[in-house]
Amino acid sequence: MNGPRRIRVKICGMTRLADARCAAEAGVDALGFIFYAKSPRAIEPPAARAIIAELPPFVDAVGVFVDEALQRVAEIATSCRLDYVQLHGAESADYCRRLATLIPCCRLLKAVRVGDQTTAGEVAPYQDCIQAYLLDTYQKRAVGGTGLTFDWALIDRLQLSKPFLLAGGLDVDNIAAALATVWPYGVDANSGLEDAPGHKNHDLVRRFIAAVRAFEAA
């Protein structure tokens, strides 16, 4: 634990305005919108733009992309007025640098799927071209949203020099244990707060954010 510090909360997979409003009222820091057609939580840019336009100040909009063409990412980021772009595929460090020149006002997050074989050498090339990592659970045939946690002890060996958000199966039952073990810059929850893909459970959303704030205050 690195001492008292506010932990940022991101909730991903937003598809409905009512869910976004609930999260914002509960004190969320960022909301994720998945622009990946194969995801069960995918959202079209016009629908995301309409929700983002209703967000209150200081709630960031994060667009999630998986191995998407650079120009399309830039177009969606601009039209939806995203604050962050989260790259959740096999995008290279060079891809990140090129994207940064296309959307200079938008910060970049790079997802890393953490498993037994993940090494510091795999993540090191990104450290000069992104603002933060998002650590998710490795599964061979999935790029995210697995609902599974990973062994948090593996994080230390990645030797990260940038802040990171902890993701992968976080919910109201395990968030306190996760924070006690890791104390990340932020946390990212998705499937653990849902009644169905893309449909957030408002009670779970409130309880999740409250649990993070209670941990900070303890």
Boundaries of every domain in the chain: 8-217
pTM of this prediction?
Answer: 0.94
- Are 33 and 200 in contact by the 8 Å Cβ rule? The answer is no
Superfamily classification of domain 8-217:
Aldolase class I (3.20.20.70)
- Are 163 and 186 in contact by the 8 Å Cβ rule? The answer is yes
Could you read off the pLDDT of 124-135 as tens digits, one per residue? 999 999 999 999
Question: pLDDT band at 2, cuts 50/70/90?
Answer: very low
What was the pLDDT predicted at 218?
85
Which residues does the annotation mark as catalytic?
Answer: 12, 136
Type of residue found at 5: R
Could you read off the pLDDT of 21-72 as tens digits, one per residue? 999 999 999 999 999 999 999 999 999 999 999 999 999 999 999 999 999 9
